[in-house]
Amino acid sequence: MAAPLRQVEGFFVSQSINLNYLASLKKFSDQLGGHGELLSMDEEDSIIVKPCNGIERDFYENSIAHPGFARWMPKYYGTLRLHDSQPPLLDQQLDVNNNIISCDIKPQTTKESIVTHADVKDAEEAICIENVLSKFKKPCVMDLKLGTQLWGEDADERKRQKAILKAERTTSSSMGIYITACRVYGKSSNNYTYYSREYCRNLTPITIIKCFADFFMAEISPSQRQLVINRFIEDLTSFLEALEKQDVRLRSASLLFVYEGDPNAFTEALNKEEEETQDNQKTSKLTSGEDYVEDEDIEDTDYDSDIDEDDDDEFKVTELKIIDFAHSYFRDGVGKDEGCLLGVNNAIRCLKQVLNEITN
């Protein structure tokens, strides 16, 4: 994973990111929903470049004061300012020792090329954030829009009325959640099944349960399916506890549910988790001062060195993140976002209902 970004002539660049990537920004192929195209920045697609407004940038930067909430957000690496022309210093890059070394940057990495490619108007900068899907081989993804109010303070009257009508015509106004998009991987066909926006838009408080259930129909085992749902329930419960403590307004933000849809990668990721748990337990015993009898067959070694430092090649089992903050803000005194709390509670209820149906 890339190091935190540091500012260089209006750009934030990472000590570990080759700046040549800026010259080869490409369309992010895994985008499921949202307005405008996202871009990926590095060879591994581990960083997403998202042209944004100042509200979303401020939300990410202000989240540092809200660590309990921020842990549910994608990692934030900084911003790229979208200049009309390439600043001269972008012909250089920083090495690991913060020294400037030569770097050939192509001239097309400009505000015009980025904004045009990303289909975002009037953008002055872009945020660089973690690609949550990069740790999955075949990610099954659901975008769940959160809250009963979908318009922000920056919306004019026309946009407000449009957002109000959208909430009333979907499950947003009644449930505080609205499935905007969904895809599920099928191992046998080696293809994804996509649930269209039109299909999701027509879901009701009754039929939304089936869509939740269908989301977990990747070709993994029944026990693995139950594990995935249980993890999402646990994560949502923890997120709910964090959300209840925030003075925040999340307007048209989404919960992103991701799980591994490839059965082999799923098993591999699960095995890796178990190995890491065992390594952590051994390390804990060695550092806690507890009596520890070493097995004669176990060599005397440093357990820290046994842990694979290159986690970038490992798959994950599940991930839950809150995303899209173009109309959201933290503000002292505004209190809880009751519409979003309603949504999270209903999401937990839906998942529990699905779990109950597949186990009985």
What is residue 33's predicted lDDT score, i.e. its pLDDT? 52
Residue type, 142: M
Output 255 or 29, whichever has higher pLDDT: 255
Per the CB < 8 A criterion, the answer to whether 13 and 5 are in contact is yes
State the alpha helices, DSSP H only, in the chain: 54-62, 67-70, 111-118, 157-169, 172-175, 197-201, 208-215, 222-243, 263-288, 303-306, 338-359
pLDDT tens digits, one per residue of 109-168: 333 443 333 434 455 678 888 989 989 999 999 999 999 999 999 899 999 999 999 999
Work out the number of other CB atoms within 10 angstroms of the CB of residue 187: 16
Q: Write b or e for each residue in 251-271: b if 16 or more Cβ atoms lie within 10 A of its Cβ, otherwise e.
A: bbbbbbbbbbbbbebbbbbee
pLDDT(302) > 50: no
pLDDT(326) > 80: yes
pLDDT(285) > 80: no
Q: Which of 104-108, 192-196, 228-232: highest mean pLDDT? A: 228-232
What is residue 360's predicted lDDT score, i.e. its pLDDT? 83
What is residue 26's predicted lDDT score, i.e. its pLDDT? 56
Return the CA Rg of the chain: 22
Output 161 or 7, whichever has higher pLDDT: 161
Q: Residue 178 pairs with which residues in a beta bridge?
A: 145
Residue type, 283: T
Q: Which of 159-168, 171-180, 278-287 has the lowest mean pLDDT?
A: 278-287
